[in-house]
Amino acid sequence: MTKQLPPLFRDKMIDLLGEDEFERFLASYDQARSYGLRVNTSKITKADFLDKSPFTLEPVPWASEGFYYEEGERPGKHPYYHAGLYYIQEPSAMAPVELLQVQPGEKVLDLCAAPGGKSTQIAAKLQGEGVLVVNDNHSDRVKALVKNLELFGVRNAVVLNERPERMMNVFQGYFDKILIDAPCSGEGMFRKEEDMMQQWERHSVQEFAAMQRELLGQAAQMLAPGGTIVYSTCTFSPEENEAQIAEFLDKHPAFDVVPIDRFDHGQPDWLRAPWCEENYSPQAREAVAGTARLWPHRLRGEGHYVAVLRSGVGADAGVGGRAEVGESVRAEVGESVRASAGAGRSGRDALRGKGRAGTESRVSLEPLQAFEDELLRSEPFAALRLVCYGEHAYASPAGLPELHGLKVVRPGWYIGALHRGRFEPSHALAMGLRLREAKRALSLASSDERALRYLKGETLEVAESEIIRDPEVTKAAKGYCLVCIDEHPVGWGKWIDGMLKNEYPPGWRWT
C-alpha cells in the first residue's frame, strides 16, 4: 500500500510532518483499519442494544453511541441493520457531530449531507424534537441520503437537493447548529478507500479549497446569532483545513474557535509557503491551534480535521435575523405542486378537517384518517404539520420557513400515498413508528427463520394468534400490520386467513 501513495502526497507529508513523524504516519497504511458502528438511540437505548448485540463491541472513546466491531463480523448482514438499530460508520467520522453538541429541539443543518451518516447521528441526538434540514447538491447522492434517514426512522427531517447559495435567503439566520462536512481531497481515506488516491491525482487541492471557502461563508449567513458551525474534512492538507479557518476568522471577526482538547491540535505552523498564504492575522493563526486533527497513527480511526466555530450575539452571521415562519410549505418536487388543505395544520386537526389553511385540496384526507383510526394507537403526527403534494402525504416539522423555489426531495416524514380513495402507508412510516404505536402488529424473533424470509420479500404463514392487537380497540386481525423483528419495526405486511402478504420494498430486500 505505501508504495502506491502518490509521490506528490508523500513529499508534501514529509515536509509537513518531518522525517521521523512521517515514518510513523507511513507505517499506519500497512496496519489494519478499524471498523465502527453507531447505535440509533432514537430506536433503542445503548444499554438495550448491548444486551441484544451479537457483535464483539468496544466503545469509541470520542463518540457516546459509537463502537468498534471486529474485522470479519458483518453487521450489515443482520436483521438489526434492517431495523435501523445502528449505522455502520468509520470511527473518526463520528467526531464532528459529537463536537456539534446537538440538543433536542434545536434547528440543525447538515449542509453536505450524503450519504447521510452524520445526518442520522444528528437525528438521534435531536430525539425527534426540533428541525433537521439535510442537503446535498448532487442529485445522484440524495437517494442514499433519503434511504438512510428512512432506515433510521427519522421523523423531523427535510431533505433538499440544492445549491447552498440558493438556500441562503430562505434560511437567513435560522439554524442553531450547522455541520459542514466539506467536499475535500480525501487524503485521510487513502487507507480505507484506495481509489481515493486516483481521485486525488485528478482533482487539485486548490479546487476543493475554493468550494470550502464558499461553503463556510454561506453557512455563516444561515446561522443564528450565538450559533455553532462545525467544519470537518477527511484530508490532511492545511490548504483545506487550517487555512480555511484562518481566512474565515479574518473575514468574520464575530466568530471564535471553540478549542478542542480531545485530539491533536491544529497546526498554525503549516500556514506557510508553498502550501498556504502567509498573510493571516496573528489572532487567526493562534486560533487555529484550537482546531483538531485526527491522525491514523495516533488513534484507531482514519484521518480527519475538525473545527468548532461559534458566533457571538450580534454577529455578522444571519444578518436580518431569523427567517419568518410560513403558514404552509410550498416547494418544487420535480415540478410545481400545491399543498393540500392539510398544510399548516398539525396532527389530528388536519385529519379532522379543522383549522383550514393552505390551498384547495386535490385529495381527500379521509382514507388517511381511517388508517390512523384503525392502525395507530397513538398520534405520531401530533407535533408535525400534514401536507400533501399530489397524492403523497408528508408530516413536516413545525417552524419551517417557506421553502418556495427550493428543490425539496422530502418536505418531512413521508407518510404514504392517497390513491383512488384509499391510503397506502409508506415504508418510511413503518420505520418511523414504534411497536407501542401500532394497534395491529407482528413481532418475529430474530432467530425465527421467518424474519429473514420477510426481509427477502417472501409471503409468510402466520397464525392469527401471533398478531398483536388489543381486542377492545382492533377486533380484526385482517389487514395491514406493522411487522417487527425483536419488537423493532422493519416494514408492513397484510394479514388474511393465516397468510402475511409481504409489503417489504423490493429495493430494500435482503440479498
DSSP 285-337: HHHGGGSEEE-TTTSSS--EEEEEEEEPTT-STTTT-SPPBPSS---EESEE-
CA distance 270 to 21: 15
Contact 129, 98 (CB under 8 A): no
In 180-196, which positions are buried (b, 16+ CB within 10 angstroms) versus exposed (e)?
bbbbbbbbbbbbbeeeb
Contact 411, 403 (CB under 8 A): yes
Q: Between β-strands 488-496 and 479-485, what pairing exists: parallel, antiparallel or unpaired? A: antiparallel
Residue 113 CA to its chain's centroid (Å): 6
> What cell numbers appear for 261 in the block?
482538547
The catalytic position among 234, 276, 388, 484 is 234
CA distance 435 to 443: 9
CA distance 274 to 271: 9
In 314-327, which positions are buried (b, 16+ CB within 10 angstroms) versus exposed (e)?
ebbbbeeebbeebe
Residue 350 CA to its chain's centroid (Å): 28
Virtual CA dihedral for 446, 451, 456, 457, nearest 10 degrees? Answer: -150
Best CA proximity match to 383, nearest among 372, 369, 393, 397: 397
Best CA proximity match to 258, nearest among 221, 222, 230: 230
Please confirm, yes or no, whether 276 is among the known catalytic residues.
no
CA distance 93 to 79: 24
Contact 231, 302 (CB under 8 A): no
| Number of helices and strands in the chain (H, E) | 16, 27
H or E, element range at 366: helix 366-375
Active site residues: 234
